[in-house]
Amino acid sequence: MPVLAQSDEKPRLGLSFPEGFVWGAATSAYQIEGAANVDGRGPSVWDTFSRSPGKVRNGETGDTAADHYHRWQSDLDLIKQLGMRSYRFSISWSRVLPGGWGPVNAKGLDFYKRLVAGLHERGIAPMVTLYHWDTPQTLQDLGGWEHRETAYRFADYAAIVAQALGDAVPAWLTLNEPKTIVQNGYLSGSHAPGRCDPAAAYVVAHHQMLAHGLAVQAMRPYLNNGTRIGPALNLHPCYPADDSAQAVEQAHKLDGFENRLYLDPIFKSAYPEDTLAAIAGISPMADHVLDGDLKTIGEPIDLLAVQYYTPIYVTASGQTEQKHPLSKAFWQQIYPQGLYDILTRVKKDYGDIPLTITENGLPTPDEVGPDGTVNDAGRIAFFRDHFAAAHRAIADGVNLESFHVWSLMDNFEWQEGYDERWGLVYVDYATQQRIPKRSAHWYSGVIRDNQV
Residues near 201 by beta carbon (within 8 Å), at least 6 away in sequence = 182, 183, 186, 187, 195, 283
CA-nearest of 162, 174, 179 to 213 is 174
Q: How many CA atoms lie within 13 A of 77 on its CB side?
A: 9
Q: Which of 44, 61, 135, 176 binds ligand FCB (CB under 6 A)?
A: 176
Q: Is 360 in the site for ligand FCB (CB under 6 A)?
A: no
CA-nearest of 131, 47, 78 to 427 is 78
Q: Which of 234, 283, 327, 356 binds ligand FCB (CB under 6 A)?
A: 234
Q: Is 134 in the site for ligand FCB (CB under 6 A)?
A: no
Cα–Cα distance between 226 and 109 in angstroms, integer?
23
Q: Is 406 in the site for ligand FCB (CB under 6 A)?
A: yes
Q: Which is nearer to ligand FCB, 17 or 46 (CB)?
A: 46
Cα–Cα distance between 25 and 81 in angstroms, integer?
13
Q: Is 91 within 8 Å of 161 (Cβ atoms)?
A: yes
Known catalytic membership, residue 177: yes
Q: How far is the CB of 413 from ligand FCB (least distance, A)?
A: 5
Cα–Cα distance between 198 and 91 in angstroms, integer?
29
Q: Is 180 in the site for ligand FCB (CB under 6 A)?
A: yes
Please work out the total of residues on this chain that contact ligand FCB, with binding judged by CB under 6 A. Answer: 11
Q: How far is the CB of 422 from ligand FCB (least distance, A)?
A: 5
Q: Which of 9, 359, 366, 410 binds ligand FCB (CB under 6 A)?
A: 359
Cα–Cα distance between 208 and 186 in angstroms, integer?
13
Q: Which of 7, 28, 275, 364 binds ligand FCB (CB under 6 A)?
A: 28
Q: Which of 144, 413, 442, 445 binds ligand FCB (CB under 6 A)?
A: 413
Known catalytic membership, residue 367: no
Looking at 151-159, 175-183, 194-202, 220-228, which segment touches ligand FCB (CB under 6 A)? 175-183
Total residues found in the chain within this entry: 452
Cα–Cα distance between 356 and 128 in angstroms, integer?
13
Q: Which is nearer to ligand FCB, 376 or 413 (CB)?
A: 413
Which spans in 137-291 are helix H? 137-141, 149-165, 178-180, 198-219, 245-255, 261-268, 273-280
Q: Is 258 in the site for ligand FCB (CB under 6 A)?
A: no
Q: How far is the CB of 191 from ligand FCB (least distance, A)?
A: 9
Residues making contact with ligand FCB (CB under 6 A):
28, 31, 176-177, 180, 234, 359, 406, 413-414, 422
Residues serving a catalytic function are 177, 359
